[in-house]
């Protein structure tokens, strides 16, 4: 098989994502008062409504509607005041009602977008000659599972910002979101005695209805993504936004956030869409990237050998890096979708929508821009710190306590503390380091009292003892001489002892400075700051 970059020389990959997110921060299910829990005994959290008993009447969970409206506002969607629930019929034991309650052509949230900033290595996946206007090359058409047209209102706002823009180290591109609708999860089935936990050949199938009726939101993108890396970054960004607004714990691992990847190929320059396949089991960011990469290469091979891509659902196997067919595509007609007569249409008030907006808080992009502007951070660092609300507030508290500026705090957090948290299984919330300790450490690094290599040792000791960075540095004799007069004395002593190297430097061999710094460090038993020695040597030698 060809590699991704070989394939993308001749073909354009077109990718759209469908992302399901469980509203894990809610207390109760979508249409009944049953508890939402992952720990309770099987079938403990059930009632006539979620078991689909005759005559039971559903009542929508207002908090769930708040959550989806917030998700829509945070992704620049138009909030539809008037929408309703539909029944999507199918027969399977995981849904006792024999239909899933979902939404029809009009979802609570329509036509939003997320802007991606792609830097460095990942940006290289997109060929240099890729078209700048994705909206034109992927006309929004009749392509949602709910029978809607999904026609995109190209308002002035959207029309002005639809283009890919190249930056110094990559590019930015807006990705349109077609819709975010509300639906409910099905029960969990466990098949015993068969191969690989599949129903085929199983001796027994167990059903746990605790999960049945869990509120889910499904976000569907337009087919605007062009590389596996863009798909991965879209998912990462969406996760950050949903975490920031507090609607879910967004765990790909546990499945509270799941993503299906739709992908097709077309010849470069072609504007109609090719036949797509849909990938399942993309339950990590790596699988999302690698599954799409594999599938793009597989489709290219099929097409180049004169075959056709079948519209089918495929399962990604990360261990073997391949996708296998699960089922051939069913169509929307198969589901007999119609309005649910038990649930009145919605008529959301402006007050309700505004109260949701008021609860949004600062979104990751706004936070990144603020960190960049007020603390003078590098954009990528500001983005990394703004990515997680707990990390961002840890950073802000530490920056407020630091005497020598926020840049050093950011560096210490990103380069030292994150690694230590990872190794200890901690994070900003459960950290055994306090923001004040980190501020103290950052100050010592900023003033040159310790070098960054020593910061790791100090951070580990701080976590263990609870002491301040200063106390540890002094107790361990790590403090480096920062007084220029004392350092200058060492420099003069070394230059007097090494006249040959000094002459070499003056005649243009500036590499010899490394040797001279080493001699200075030796002369002071490692208590001087090498960076400052370097500067003082250069000054003395010119």
- The footprint of ligand ADP on residues 273-312 (CB under 6 A) is 273-274, 276, 278
CB proximity list for 254: less than 8 A, separation 6 or greater? 38
Please select the residue that binds ligand ADP; options are 7, 8, 17, 490, rule is CB under 6 A: 17
Using alpha carbons only, give the angle 75, 76, 79 rounded to the nearest 5 degrees.
105
Site for Zn ion contains 523 (CB under 5 A): no
Q: Is 220 in the site for ligand ADP (CB under 6 A)?
A: yes
d(C-alpha 466, C-alpha 433), whole Å: 7
* Residues that contact Mg ion, how many (by CB under 5 A): 1
C-beta closer to ligand ADP: residue 142 or 366: 142
State which residue, 226 or 240, has the beta carbon closest to ligand ADP. Answer: 226
Select from 2, 43, 47, 513 the one that contacts Zn ion (CB under 5 A): 47
Binding mask 22-51 for ligand ADP (x = CB under 6 A): ------------------------------
Q: Is 100 in the site for ligand ADP (CB under 6 A)?
A: no
Centroid of chain to Cα 502:
52
SS (H, E, C) 49-108: CCCCCCCCCCCCCHHHHHHHHHHHHHCCCEECCCCCEEEEECCCCCCCCCEEEEECCCCC
Q: Of 136-155, which residues contact Mg ion (CB under 5 A)?
A: 145
Q: What token pair was written down for 62?
A: 């207002």
**Of positions 21, 100, 103, 144, contacts ligand ADP by CB under 6 A:** 144
Q: Which of 21, 83, 103, 262 binds ligand ADP (CB under 6 A)?
A: 262
Judged by CB under 6 A, the stretch of 139-147, 245-253, 373-381, 436-444 that binds ligand ADP is 139-147
- Of the candidates 12, 222, 340, 481, which one interacts with ligand ADP according to CB under 6 A? 222
Confirm if 223 and 138 have CB atoms less than 8 A apart. Answer: yes
Q: Is 143 in the site for ligand ADP (CB under 6 A)?
A: yes
Q: How many residues bind ligand ADP (CB under 6 A)?
A: 19
Beta bridge partners of 163: 133
62-74 and 350-358 helices, crossing angle to 10°: 70
Nearer to ligand ADP, 262 or 283 (CB): 262
Q: Return the closest-CA partner of residue 144 out of 196, 105, 117, 171.
A: 105
264 binds ligand ADP (CB under 6 A): yes
* 221 makes contact with ligand ADP (CB under 6 A): yes
What is the chain's length? 542
Site size for Zn ion, by CB under 5 A?
A: 5
Cβ neighbors of 171 (< 8 A, separation 6 or more) are: 118, 123, 126, 164, 165
From the list 165-173, 258-266, 290-298, 454-462, the region that binds ligand ADP by CB under 6 A is 258-266
* Residue 50 sits in the site that holds Zn ion (CB under 5 A): yes
Contact by Cβ (8 Å): 45, 210? yes
Q: Interface residues for Mg ion in 71-130 (CB under 5 A)? A: none
Which residue's Cβ has the minimum distance to ligand ADP?
A: 16
Q: Is residue 536 at the binding interface for Zn ion, with CB under 5 A as the rule?
A: no
**Buried/exposed 42-57: b ≥16 CB within 10 Å, e otherwise:** eeebbeebbbbeeeee
Q: Smallest distance from the beta carbon of 176 to ligand ADP, in angstroms?
A: 9
Structure token digits, residue 394: 């840890």
- Residue with smaller CB distance to Zn ion, 73 or 212: 212
Give the interface segment with Zn ion, choosing from 40-48, 392-400, 485-493, 503-511 (CB under 5 A).
Answer: 40-48
145 binds ligand ADP (CB under 6 A): yes
Taking the complex as a whole, the smallest distance from the CB of residue 33 to Zn ion amounts, in Å, to: 7
- 163 vs 371: CA distance, rounded Å: 26
Return the one option of ligand ADP, Mg ion, Zn ion, none that residue 50 interacts with (CB less than 5 to 8 A, by type): Zn ion
Q: Are 99 and 88 in contact (CB under 8 A)?
A: yes
User: Could you please report the per-residue DSSP string of 116-162?
Assistant: EEEEHHHHTTS-TT--SBHHHHS---S--TTS--------HHHHHT-
Selection from 318, 312, 272 nearest residue 292 by Cα: 318
- Compute the distance between CA of residue 542 and CA of residue 525 in angstroms, rounded to an integer: 26
Which residues would be at the binding site for ligand ADP (CB under 6 A)?
14-18, 143-145, 220-223, 262-264, 273-274, 276, 278
Which residues would be at the binding site for Zn ion (CB under 5 A)?
32, 34, 47, 49-50
């Amino acid at each position: 098989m060809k590699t991704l970059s070989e394939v993308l020389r001749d073909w354009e990959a077109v990718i759209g994502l469908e992302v399901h997110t469980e509203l894990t921060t809610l207390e109760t299910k979508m249409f009944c008062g049953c508890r939402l829990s992952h720990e309770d005994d099987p079938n403990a959290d059930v009632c006539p409504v979620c078991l689909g008993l005759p005559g039971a009447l559903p009542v929508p969970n207002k908090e769930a509607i708040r959550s989806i409206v917030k998700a829509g506002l945070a992704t620049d969607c138009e909030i539809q005041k008037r929408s309703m629930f539909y029944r999507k019929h199918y027969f399977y034991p995981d849904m006792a009602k024999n239909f899933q309650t979902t939404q029809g052509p009009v979802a609570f949230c329509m036509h939003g977008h997320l802007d991606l900033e792609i830097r460095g290595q990942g940006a290289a996946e997109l060929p240099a000659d890729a078209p700048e206007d994705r909206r034109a090359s992927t006309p929004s058409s009749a392509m949602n599972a709910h029978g809607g047209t999904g026609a995109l209102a190209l308002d002035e706002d959207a029309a002005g910002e639809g283009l890919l823009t190249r930056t110094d180290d990559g590019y930015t591109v807006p990705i349109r979101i077609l819709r975010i609708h509300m639906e409910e999860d099905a029960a969990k089935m466990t098949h015993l005695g068969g191969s690989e936990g599949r129903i085929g050949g199983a001796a027994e199938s167990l059903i746990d209805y605790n999960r049945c009726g869990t509120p889910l939101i499904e976000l569907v993108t337009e087919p605007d993504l062009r590389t596996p890396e863009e798909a991965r970054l879209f998912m990462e960004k969406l996760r950050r936004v949903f975490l920031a607004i507090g609607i879910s714990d967004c765990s790909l691992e546990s499945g509270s956030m799941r993503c299906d990847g739709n992908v097709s190929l077309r010849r470069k320059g072609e504007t109609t869409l090719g036949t797509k396949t849909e990938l399942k089991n993309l339950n990590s960011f790596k699988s999302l990237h690698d599954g799409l990469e594999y599938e793009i290469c597989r489709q290219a091979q099929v097409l180049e050998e004169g075959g056709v891509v079948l519209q089918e659902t495929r399962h990604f196997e990360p261990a073997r890096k391949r996708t296998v067919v699960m089922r051939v595509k069913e169509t929307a007609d198969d589901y007999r979708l119609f309005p649910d007569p038990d649930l009145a249409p919605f008529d959301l008030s402006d007050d309700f929508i505004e109260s949701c907006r008021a609860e949004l808080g600062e979104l990751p992009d706004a936070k990144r821009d603020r960190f960049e502007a007020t603390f003078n951070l590098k954009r990528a660092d500001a983005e990394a710190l703004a990515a997680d609300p707990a990390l961002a507030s840890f950073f802000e508290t530490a920056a407020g306590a630091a005497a020598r500026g926020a840049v050093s705090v950011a560096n210490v957090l990103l380069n030292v503390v994150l690694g230590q948290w990872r190794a200890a299984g901690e994070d900003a919330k459960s950290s055994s380091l306090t923001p004040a300790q980190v501020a103290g450490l950052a100050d010592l690094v900023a003033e040159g009292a310790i070098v960054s290599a020593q910061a790791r040792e100090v951070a580990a000791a701080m976590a263990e003892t609870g002491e301040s960075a200063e106390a540890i540095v002094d107790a361990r004799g790590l403090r480096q001489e920062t007084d220029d007069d004392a350092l200058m004395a060492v420099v003069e002593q070394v230059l007097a002892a090494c006249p040959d190297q000094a002459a070499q430097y003056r005649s243009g061999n500036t590499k010899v400075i490394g040797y001279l710094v080493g001699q200075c460090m030796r002369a002071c038993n490692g208590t001087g700051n090498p960076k400052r020695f370097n500067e003082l040597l250069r000054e003395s030698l010119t």
